[in-house]
Structure 1
Amino acid sequence: MEKLPKLTIPVIVGVILLIILVAKSSVTISSGHAGVLYQTFGNGVVTDEPPLGEGFHIIAPWNKVFVYEVRQQELSEKMQVLSSNGLEIKLDASAWYQPVPKDVAKLHQEKGEDYLQRVIQPAIRSAARSVVGRYTPEQLYSTKRDAIQEEIFEETKKILDKQYVQLNEILVRDVTLPPTIKDAIERKLRQEQESLEYEFRLEKATKEAQKVRIEAQGKADANAILSASLTDKILQDKGIDATLELAKSQNAKVVVVGSGDSGLPLILGNN
């Protein structure tokens, strides 16, 4: 076997070192991410320049890049908090959040890569305890879910806006009460519903009775007005008109003039 030329081994070693150097000097940032540059022989985390954006970058081999996802992310939290009267409430909520891209270097420098556990979770839990503690279990169960969701969002956002994290939404998926409290609330709600239904039927019946009384009074008033306006002369005139009309019919009849109690004609034998 022939010996390798004297320059072959140094060339091979040089190529290997060059590959390692290139590998150490390059970084690729994926979509939806940003890179925080750390200068080993400089001032550490670079905060006075924008973070490294998506794509391929060349850096000094002795420096480091910490990659952060800056897209919207979701955190699911199951918490146990106390209501205004001291009862334990289980809250199931989600938070939509993302690091502020331009401040990701400060986030890395001050909070670190585990900022989720250091900042976001404590903020949400603190806000949830504060907000839920203002309401009774009945309010939480029936009418205040949207309100507590909005209030938890506002209180959490105030905290995170100072921590280089953008909070987009808080969603309260479920509020679980102790079974005995839940059953008592449901019974009360059913009773209230039945009471409202009874009041509705009673009001409807009262209005129907009032309508009948008004109609009856109207008829009585009409009859009274009609009776007051009818005189003997008017009745006689109406009787004569009716007799004349009947006399025109083809049916056989006998008309006795002036034989009625009021002097009106009598018609006999009408077939």
Structure 2
Amino acid sequence: MEKRILDVNLYQNNRIYKTDRIMKNVSITILVLGLFCTSCAVVRPGEVGIKQTLGKFSKEVKVQGTVLYNPFISRVIKESTKTSNIKLVLSLPSKEGLSVNSEISILYRLQANKVASVLENLGQNYEDVITSVFRSAASDVCAKFFAKDMHSGMRADIENEILKKMKVNLELQADGVDLIAVLMKRIQLPSGLANSIERKLQAEQDAMRMEFVLDQERLEADRKIINAKGERDAQIIISEGLTKEIIRIKAIEAFRELSKSTNAKIIITDGKTPFIVGSQETEVKK
């Protein structure tokens, strides 16, 4: 009886052990399959990640951190939300029909919460769409301006008009691309036009220089006229103030000064005005 009870207990223990072992194996298998069927994507600062499952984008956009997904049916698309720069070198038309070579920079960034709209409507090659929209807008706007305007202070107006037209055209395609600025960094005019503008500027400089010289001459002439008028007025005032009494007083003062001199002199006078005749000098004083 005791042996039978012992055999039953042993059988039950073996059965429990086998069951536990099977459960552990199943758990390990499930864990391995789970790890095998799960991947992890890391979204860094300045990026956003969006999960695409069976071709459908998730409504949730990951800003930073890790994203778990099934690599067999899903993938994580990461896009930068930093300010990006598209550089272009192209020929722009002008109002007079000339071609102006220009180096352009287009500054833009993606709006984090609207990345799905951009990818659904424009795809991952959205920069090609932005470039195409710019080419169309730039051609339409630059055709309204003369070539010389692109090389003058009107460049900022041209850039602003291109930017406005790009925003209108791009919003028809998708929402989520934030256009910041259009910069025309380098403008190369046709050689003939550049030489003409240079000659015109040189002529304007020469005209300004000649005008400056003429202004200086006019000022000098005015100065001489004013000086001559001053001298004339001074002489008139002096001649009007010379009376007989003043002349006599001046003559007496002249005699007094002559008497103090140590030089030998011959003074001939009529009592009014002295004439001095000396061996070394002849003076007339009034």
Tell me the TM-score normalized by structure 1. 0.79
Task: Tell me: CA distance 1:250–1:178, structure 2 relative to 1, closer, same or farther (3 Å).
Answer: closer
Q: Deviations over 1:93-126 (max 9, x none)?
A: 10111111121122122222111112x1123222
Question: Could you tell me how far apart the structure 2 residues matched to 1:92 and 1:83 are?
Answer: 15
Alignment of 1:1-271 (within 5 A): 17-23=33-39, 26-40=40-54, 44-47=56-59, 49=60, 51-59=61-69, 62-118=73-129, 120-160=130-170, 163-247=175-259, 249=260, 251=262, 260-261=269-270, 263-264=272-273
Asked if the contact 2:114–2:175 (Cα under 8 Å) also holds between the matched residues in 1, the reply is no
Q: Amino acid of the residue matched to residue 263 of structure 1?
A: K
SS in 2 for 1:46: strand
Q: CA deviation at 1:203?
A: 2.1
Q: In 2 relative to 1, CA 177–255 (structure 1 residues): closer, same or farther, beyond 3 Å? A: closer
- Which is worse superposed, 79-88 or 60-69? 60-69
Q: 1:95 touches 1:169 (CA, 8 Å); kept in 2? A: yes
Give per-residue Cα distances to partners, 1:227-267, cap 9 Å, x unaligned.
222222212112223333443x36266797xx624535667
8 Å CA contact retained: 1:83, 1:134: yes
Amino acid at match of 2:83: Q
Q: Is the 8 A contact 1:37 1:46 kept in 2?
A: yes
Asked whether the equivalents of residues 38 and 70 of structure 2 are also in contact (C-alpha less than 8 Å), the reply is no
Shift of 1:269: 6.7
The one-letter code matched in structure 1 to 2:101 is K
Q: Which runs of 5+ in 1 are unaligned?
A: 1-5
CA distance in 2: counterparts of 1:72 and 1:127, whole angstroms: 21
Deviates more, 1:86-95 or 1:13-22: 13-22
- Counterpart contact for 2:107–2:180, Cα < 8 Å: yes
More strand by share: 2
Separation (CA, whole Å) in 2 of partners of 1:222 and 1:29 = 94
Q: Go from structure 1 to structure 2 and tell me whether the alpha carbon gap of 1:260 and 1:235 turns closer, same or farther (over 3 Å shift).
A: same
RMSD between aligned residues: 3.2
Task: Report the CA distance between 1:33 and its aligned residue.
Answer: 0.9
On the 8 A contact 1:83/1:135 being kept in 2, the answer is: yes
Q: Is the 8 A contact 1:89 1:176 kept in 2?
A: yes
In the TM superposition, residue 46 of structure 1 has moved relative to its aligned partner by: 2.9
Give the whole-Å Cα distance in 2 for the aligned partners of 1:265 and 1:216: 31
- State the AA in 1 paired with 2:272: G
User: Mean alpha-carbon deviation: is it higher for 178-187 or for 59-68?
Assistant: 59-68
**SS of residue in 1 equivalent to 2:198:** helix
Q: Unpaired runs of 5+ in structure 2?
A: 1-20, 281-286
Q: Which moved more, 1:88-97 or 1:206-215?
A: 206-215
Task: Give the deviation of 1:189 after TM superposition.
Answer: 2.0
Identity score, percent: 26
Give 1:238's aligned amino acid: K
Distance 2:162 2:239 in 1: 75
1:147 Cα deviation after fit: 3.2
Check 1:265–1:207 CA distance in 2 against 1; reply closer, same or farther (3 A cut): closer
Shift of 1:206: 2.1
Q: Which has the larger radius of gyration?
A: 2
Once the two structures are overlaid, the 10-residue window that deviates more, 184-193 or 99-108, is: 184-193
